Structure 1
Amino acid sequence: MSQPGSQIPPLINLSNSIIAGGTFNQHIDQRQYLHSGERAGYARLVENVATAALHDSVHVVDPPKCHPNTRVTIIQTIIDWASSATLDEEVNQKPILWLKGGAGAGKSAIARSVAERCSKEGSLLGAFFFGAADPTRNHVGRLVATLAYQVCLIVPEFRDIVSTVIEDDPLVFSRSVGTQFTALFIRPLSTIVANQPGTVKVPRLVVIDGLDECRGGSQRDLLFALQETTSSTTFIRVLVSSRPESHLNNAFSSSRLVHIHYKIFLDDDYSAQEDIRLYLDDKFGEIKEGHVFKHKLPATWPGPDIIRELVYRSSGHFIYASTVVRYVESSRHRPDQRLDVILNLRPPFKDLPFTELDALYRHVISKAEAPSTVVDILAFPILYGTGVVDGATIEKMLQLEDGDVEVILADLQSLVKIDCKTMYYGESVEVELLHKSLGDFLCDSQRAGDFYLDPFTVQVHHTTRLISIVSTTFEHWGIRALDDKATWLLAADEIIVPIQIESRGSVHGVSGEKHSYVYSDFLQAALQFPTFNLIKQMHTDLDRHQHEYASLFNFLSAYLRCLHSVVGV
């Protein structure tokens, strides 16, 4: 606290501190600005800056950035687009680029690497990195002020214009994001370009990362404000990165945005696996050279087969690989033993290896409207594999309405891929996991908690449900209803599993693991199943040949094998 009559200390040169990667106090006393001759409007602008949202902010500890020599093609593609230097003229004309990808695909690392490189090259106009857990940057309230502040540092003429706007309208920061963009961004830039054509070089690129982490319903408004910005100032390019959430898919597909944006989908980036391999090779090399227990490591550790397995488990998502590295490189443990924990070759230490990844999975699933139903649906691709069981089968098995799978998983598109296909029997929806480790999470009770699914218990439930569906369908609608168009029968040999039930009612999976449940529902369904009548009608139906009941034969074969495995039946 200054004593009466003491002189207020001079201000730090904010321009130099930001450009050099420094920082400043977000809550700066306006009196210091006024004392140093700074305008009140500019002081208000600085007050509304989210310092943690800057690409080089000191407030973000260990910010994600691309590992050297990885993501090279994607980064160069973005930079070429930003400078209209791509070979595709149609792409050059699109002012917005949407970089989308599943959770942990590396979107923020790419966006930050692009921002840093463009900043060094003088082509970055501004950047804003949303963060769901940070109250200063999980909303649009500080977005325009943060961007405008960065433009002030790059284009000095911009500062006086913006300061005047704020002084004329002190409540401008309380207005809609569209109004703020117009008042504090579009008009000032347009005025500068119009008054001094050719004399002022204005960078082109604006980077907005983590749009899905912006709270409330303002994401669509922000996208439409960006559309207005790019149409009013044609030299601006905007890179937006986010997860492929349903409402964002809808916004980018709207008539206002569909024709003006270029899309890069990271989940289709086949070079990601090679980049992850390079990242793991480099990181394990650093561990072997610099770890305190490096003398304990075998010469061939970790070996190409283990690297290959880790690359496979990563599913093209850097978050898995980086989580593995952070766990293995712990200075308090032997790296080879920590890696054995990752590979399930030894019990975990006190600190579980996938805490960060598990928190991500838990957060995404819990945001869904019906998390328990989401887990029930995800059990199918986890247990039976991609493409084996389609959406119609899942809906039949879980007693959902037609189209429910696609609707329920709409908010899970950062973890799963929903693929719509046209089949001979109609439209089909297949659900594919974007993260192979998601199944490991859900099938581990310690990791998943309330979301845990016991694979064997779930398969027995599915088996019981399938038996009951066939029995009820045959009883009410006859054998003709069980033809080859009943797609849920085609998955019978995958769904129906061998079951071992002892006389006391204890149940074992095929692996020998004991389950303390009495599967009376399964036994009841089997006792009520009309095996004889069903087979008799298949052989006495004079209007149809037996091969026309191929799907039903498929079911009966799996069903009878299941009964054969049950002790005492």
Structure 2
Amino acid sequence: MLLTVLERLHYVPDATYDAQARKGCMKNTRVSVLSDLMDWCKDPAAPPMLWLSGMAGTGKSAIVWSIADSLQADGLLGGSFFCSRTGSTARSDVTRVIPTLVRQLAMRSTMYRDALVAEIRTDPDTSHKYIDVQVEKLLRKPFLTSTRPHSHLPVFVIDALDECSDKDATEQILKDLIAASSSIPAKFFVTSRPEHHIRHKLQSTSPEFRRVLRLHDIEKDLVDVDIRLYLEHRLSNIQAELSNILSPAWYTTADIDTLTGLANRLFIFAFTAVEYIRRNPTERLKRLTGVKVTAGKPLTETLDTIYTLILSETSTSDGLEPEEVAFLKHVLVYILAVRVPLSVSAFAELLGISPSRLRATLDHLHAVINIPDEDNGDALSTIHASFGDFLLDSSRAPDVMRIDINSGHLSLSQRCFELMQSDALCFNVSRSPSSCLPHPQPHFSESLGYACSQWVHHVVDSPDPRSFVPAIDTVFIPKFLFWLEVLVASGEIDRVPALIMTLLHTPALVRATLHPTASTN
């Protein structure tokens, strides 16, 4: 019965630390950082919130996964939420963080669970309300009525908060957690890039309530030691895998030193370099170690160099024609613009091509794109957010491969409407044998489900939302109930009000609806 009540929470199961594919730090690396963080976790007199800040590629997620794992082993993990722009939409929705955290704690603490269930019974819709209400009713009140003094406080872990889509809501959750932390026996470990809205909120908070640890301020020598260990481990593994063609001496200490210098404190460079090297070890190692290191270079310069090298090889290795390079960019902009990662087959259908053509297009990008070997439902996505940052930054990406994200939203909007206008969206789209069944099954394609749930966001983010007014009328006057059925079968019917409100609060669409001729002028 209690578990049934907890199911009312807006819980995101794939956001917990143990649901993540990427694991923690390699053994014997980041030792001092991990020790410092665990000391904070176990010190009841330390500030209740710690912010681990670092630019993309500095290894924040590996560190926080290791900390969460250690806290779990010690019985100190209150709950975890790994935010992601490339995970499910729910993982970038900051309003899902508190419900997910408190549900995990409720499964570990009987006293807390009883207090939380009492609150939910009083107001069953609490988890759907705004963040300040969630923090008060799901976190603070149950804590105050259930807990007793302990030597160590439970620690809630929130990774990559900057990847939540709503900046205002992200500021709000920080404000509310900081306020709550002064009166509840718990700690909050938050990581993010040093984005302005997060940095401003935390730096304006009294040091009594927060501590800041900046990864990019850690001494370069300490980081270099860890990156060197990582490179030695990975390159020796490549030799073991290819011992029939590689001798133990296929790389030298000088090679490791050069790669470590190129990494320039960015673990993602070391990871990407190894993924790049392993497909042609001898030649690619030689090519990478020949990259010139410039004194006083920006932190991302060598990361940009390897990304440019990988893209250059992709566009020249098979003698791609200009239209083939343009198509590769078209695929990449889709990968960056989609709001929910899709399987290869669903992605191909959204693009309007075959899965085999999609795989062939991305064949040389395995170092930067996660391309599942089989169509088993695993998602196609960038391996690291820094690759998307590189492609979207006009000062970093080469002209020939620079991506315009607005064009991606425009193209995705068009494809979403094409799928919804097709016969795929029809009466009884879920193929339910009876309209009386409460939970129809999604017997439709993954791409149609994506189109129905995400078209609003692509339209709003496209260069000219007004141009889609005729398409909206064409689909939703005759097919509104079919669209609702898809969302019911997908378990996303609760998003309908938010989707409609998003449209109603888009000025360009409002003007075009009130003055139809304006959309054609």
In the superposition, the TM-score normalised over structure 1's length comes to 0.52
Indicate whether 1:252 and 2:277 are aligned.
no
State the partner residue of 2:364: 351
SS of the aligned residue for 1:295 comes to coil
State the partner residue of 2:269: 320
Indicate whether 1:337 and 2:283 are aligned.
yes
RMSD: 2.8
For residue 43 of structure 1, report the CA deviation from its aligned partner. 2.5
Q: C-alpha distance in 2, partners of 1:166/1:365?
A: 44
For residue 326 of structure 1, report the CA deviation from its aligned partner. 2.3
State the partner residue of 1:42: 6
For residue 366 of structure 1, report the CA deviation from its aligned partner. 7.2
Could you report, residue by residue, the CA deviation over 1:21-61 in whole angstroms, capped at 9, with x for unpaired residues? xxxxxxxxxxxxxxxx445422212xx2111110101xx3x
Residue number among 113, 116, 131 corresponding to 2:84 in the alignment = 131
Gaps of 5+ in 1: 1-36, 86-91, 376-440, 452-569
State the partner residue of 1:144: 98
Letter in 2 for 1:117: S
Counterparts of residues 526-541 of structure 1 (less than 5 Å) = none
Distance change in 2, residues 1:361/1:155 (3 Å): closer
State the partner residue of 1:175: 129
For residue 157 of structure 1, report the CA deviation from its aligned partner. 1.9
Preserved CA contact (<8 Å) 1:52 1:136: no
Distance change in 2, residues 1:366/1:215 (3 Å): farther
SS of the aligned residue for 1:287 comes to helix
Counterparts of residues 263-302 of structure 1 (less than 5 Å) = 263-270=212-219, 271-289=222-240, 291=241, 293-302=242-251
Residue number among 153, 166, 188 corresponding to 2:107 in the alignment = 153
Preserved CA contact (<8 Å) 2:84 2:160: yes
Gaps of 5+ in 2: 292-308, 318-362, 370-381, 406-521
For residue 128 of structure 1, report the CA deviation from its aligned partner. 0.9
Distance change in 2, residues 1:236/1:38 (3 Å): closer
Preserved CA contact (<8 Å) 1:173 1:180: yes
Residue number among 35, 53, 65 corresponding to 1:100 in the alignment = 53
SS of the aligned residue for 1:274 comes to helix
Could you report, residue by residue, the CA deviation over 1:117-170 in whole angstroms, capped at 9, with x for unpaired residues? 110011111111101122021012221111111111211122222122112112
Counterparts of residues 505-524 of structure 1 (less than 5 Å) = none
State the partner residue of 2:159: 209
Distance change in 2, residues 1:339/1:187 (3 Å): same
Indicate whether 1:117 and 2:66 are aligned.
no
Q: C-alpha distance in 2, partners of 1:159/1:228?
A: 22
State percent identity of aligned pairs.
Answer: 27
Preserved CA contact (<8 Å) 1:54 1:128: yes
Q: C-alpha distance in 2, partners of 1:209/1:360?
A: 14
For residue 251 of structure 1, report the CA deviation from its aligned partner. 1.0
Letter in 2 for 1:120: A
Distance change in 2, residues 1:358/1:44 (3 Å): closer
Equivalent residue pairs, number = 322
Distance change in 2, residues 1:42/1:247 (3 Å): closer
State the partner residue of 2:140: 186
SS of the aligned residue for 1:238 comes to strand
Q: C-alpha distance in 1, partners of 2:252/2:176?
A: 51
Letter in 2 for 1:214: C
Distance change in 2, residues 1:358/1:180 (3 Å): closer
Residue number among 62, 66, 86 corresponding to 2:25 in the alignment = 66
Letter in 2 for 1:42: L
Preserved CA contact (<8 Å) 1:41 1:162: no
| Bigger radius of gyration among the two | 1
For residue 359 of structure 1, report the CA deviation from its aligned partner. 7.3
Counterparts of residues 366-445 of structure 1 (less than 5 Å) = 372=394, 375=395, 442=397, 444=398
State the partner residue of 2:253: 304
State the partner residue of 1:506: none
For residue 445 of structure 1, report the CA deviation from its aligned partner. 5.0
Residue number among 364, 385, 389 corresponding to 1:364 in the alignment = 389
Distance change in 2, residues 1:364/1:327 (3 Å): closer
Distance change in 2, residues 1:341/1:351 (3 Å): farther
Letter in 1 for 2:7: A
SS of the aligned residue for 1:218 comes to helix
Preserved CA contact (<8 Å) 1:125 1:202: no
Preserved CA contact (<8 Å) 2:42 2:153: no
Indicate whether 1:219 and 2:170 are aligned.
yes
Q: C-alpha distance in 2, partners of 1:228/1:121?
A: 27
Residue number among 207, 212, 229 corresponding to 2:180 in the alignment = 229
Distance change in 2, residues 1:359/1:322 (3 Å): closer
Q: C-alpha distance in 1, partners of 2:36/2:59?
A: 16
SS of the aligned residue for 1:56 comes to helix
Letter in 1 for 2:388: H
Q: C-alpha distance in 2, partners of 1:241/1:158?
A: 26
Distance change in 2, residues 1:213/1:449 (3 Å): closer
SS of the aligned residue for 2:57 comes to coil
Could you report, residue by residue, the CA deviation over 1:491-539 in whole angstroms, capped at 9, with x for unpaired residues? xxxxxxxxxxxxxxxxxxxxxxxxxxxxxxxxxxxxxxxxxxxxxxxxx
Could you report, residue by residue, the CA deviation over 1:366-408 in whole angstroms, capped at 9, with x for unpaired residues? 77xxx55xx2xxxxxxxxxxxxxxxxxxxxxxxxxxxxxxxxx
Could you report, residue by residue, the CA deviation over 1:175-201 in whole angstroms, capped at 9, with x for unpaired residues? 1212111111111111112xxx45x78
Q: C-alpha distance in 2, partners of 1:232/1:191?
A: 12
SS of the aligned residue for 1:296 comes to coil
In the superposition, the TM-score normalised over structure 2's length comes to 0.57
For residue 287 of structure 1, report the CA deviation from its aligned partner. 1.7
Letter in 1 for 2:261: Y
Could you report, residue by residue, the CA deviation over 1:233-282 in whole angstroms, capped at 9, with x for unpaired residues? 1x31111100011222211122x455421111111222111100001111
Letter in 1 for 2:389: V
Letter in 1 for 2:283: Q
For residue 335 of structure 1, report the CA deviation from its aligned partner. 2.4
Distance change in 2, residues 1:145/1:202 (3 Å): farther
State the partner residue of 1:20: none
Q: C-alpha distance in 1, partners of 2:190/2:366?
A: 31
